[in-house]
Amino acid sequence: MSRFIRQWCATLALGLCALPVLAELSLLNVSYDVARDFYKDYNPMFQKHWKALSGESVELKQSHAGSSKQVRAVADGLEADVVTMNQASDVDFLAEKGLVAKDYAKRFPNNASPYTSTMVFIVRKGNPKAIRDWPDLVKPGVQVILPHPKNTGNGRYTYLAAWGFALGQSGGNERTAQEFVARLLQNAPLFAAGGRDATTTFMQRRIGDVLVSFESEAELIAREFGKGEFTVVYPSLSILTEFPVAIVNPVVDKKGTRKLAQAYLEYLWSPAGQENAAQNYLRPRSPEILKKYAEQFPPVRTFTVDEVFGGWSKAFPAHFKDGGSFDQIYLKK
């Protein structure tokens, strides 16, 4: 018995000695939900790269969940070295709290977003309702499936995409845009709990005529349900969705991992990192790699949240805060 305890104490002591060493070489990436596949491929690539560069092996830890949940956890003290998110408003929140640099979007190229995506329509085989563009989504008798526009990132991008499209029409203004979006929402029989739930509702429960989702989701649907089951339709104008990354300053300063964190995020822009994005059906920023995968990414006219809405810091309160344009559509007081 006492031998057992002694052994156990020895193990514990060894473990404690090893802990700081291990901690120096580990990096926690706190990320949004569906980035799992991307980083599962990316992390081993970076480990190899870092080993070749510095001779150190590094342990990479991932955490995935809904992005605003993740950001709240980081604000509450989850020790993330880096955050990789799917919406600037979430990183803005950390900037406000002083956890990431105020100008985080300028610390890396391309608005600190190593890849992009866009919102597309997914329609049933053969496109029976002849859906080609946004106006087809507001026609009577067409059912549109989307996640909750107020509570999910996916839904918010859909909402802004439709709004931006309506604004861009001749004679388009805030009022006509809101009317257009209101008509679109009237065609929604439900608001799904999240992106994947919307996909299940559309593909498996066969509810609705069109699903609005990320371009990158379409490939996943193909893998799950078969390519012939649906058609992807690119609208004439859509929104460019950006995925900002940032270093969490207090954490890397405390852990001494700034160089590692910087390299980890920079490597996303390397040819290998960009190629990985393309393979995960996210549009790479590098023109060469984009060209290489041109078949997968047909050209599409897009606008950014910054261009049309003046950034998420303006778009979020105007549309998704309580009393914003979404609430106005439903609460006619």
Partner 1 sequence: MRSLFGPRPLLPGFRLSLGCAVLYLSLLVLLPLSGLVFKASQLSLAAFWEIASGERALASYRVTFGASLLAASINTVFGLIVAWVLVRYSFPGKRLIDALVDLPFALPTAVAGITLATLYAGNGWIGRYLEPLGFKIAFAPPGIVVALTFIGLPFVVRTLQPVIEDIEPEVEEAAASLGASRLQTFVRVLWPALLPALLTGFTLAFSRSIGEYGSVIFIAGNMPLISEITPLLIISKLEQYDVVGATALAVVMLFISFVMLFVVNGLQWWAATRHGARAADGALR
Torsion angle defined by CA atoms of residues 50, 52, 54 and 59, in that order, rounded to the nearest 10 degrees: 40
Distance CA 43, CA 52 (A): 14
Q: What distance, in Å, lies between the first and last C-alpha atoms of the chain?
A: 74
Contact status: 192 vs partner 1 (CB under 8 A) = yes
Contact status: 312 vs partner 1 (CB under 8 A) = no
CA distances from 177 to 73, 119, 266, 325 (A): 35, 18, 38, 10
Distance CA 138, CA 134 (A): 7
Angle at alpha carbon of residue 316, lines to 70 and 237, rounded to 5°: 105
By CB under 8 A, name the one of 150, 183, 258, 292 that touches partner 1.
150
By CB under 8 A, name the one of 21, 52, 294, 331 that touches partner 1.
331
Distance CA 82, CA 71 (A): 11
Q: Considering the complex, what minimum distance in angstroms separates the CB of residue 211 from partner 1? A: 15
Q: Decide: residue 44, CB within 10 A, 0-12 exposed, 13-18 middle, 19+ buried.
A: exposed
Distance CA 44, CA 37 (A): 12
Site map (CB under 8 A) of partner 1, residues 43-82, x = contact:
-------------------------x---x----------
Residues in CB range of 180: below 8 A, 6 or more apart: 134, 138, 162, 163, 165, 166
> Tokens representing 279?
């393979």
Which of helix, strand or coil describes residue 62? strand
Q: Considering the complex, what minimum distance in angstroms separates the CB of residue 187 from partner 1? A: 12
State which residue, 241 or 302, has the beta carbon closest to partner 1. 241
State which residue, 134 or 202, has the beta carbon closest to partner 1. 202
> Tokens representing 186?
């009237």
State which residue, 76 or 103, has the beta carbon closest to partner 1. 76
Window contacting partner 1 (CB under 8 A); options: 172-180, 241-249, 262-270, 319-327: 319-327
Q: Which of residues 281-300 bind partner 1 (CB under 8 A)?
A: none
State which residue, 4 or 330, has the beta carbon closest to partner 1. 330
By CB under 8 A, name the one of 25, 45, 78, 190 that touches partner 1.
190
By CB under 8 A, name the one of 78, 101, 182, 207 that touches partner 1.
207
State which residue, 93 or 159, has the beta carbon closest to partner 1. 93
Q: Contact residues for partner 1 (CB under 8 A)? A: 68, 72, 93, 148, 150-151, 188-193, 197, 200-201, 204-207, 316, 320-322, 327, 330-331, 333
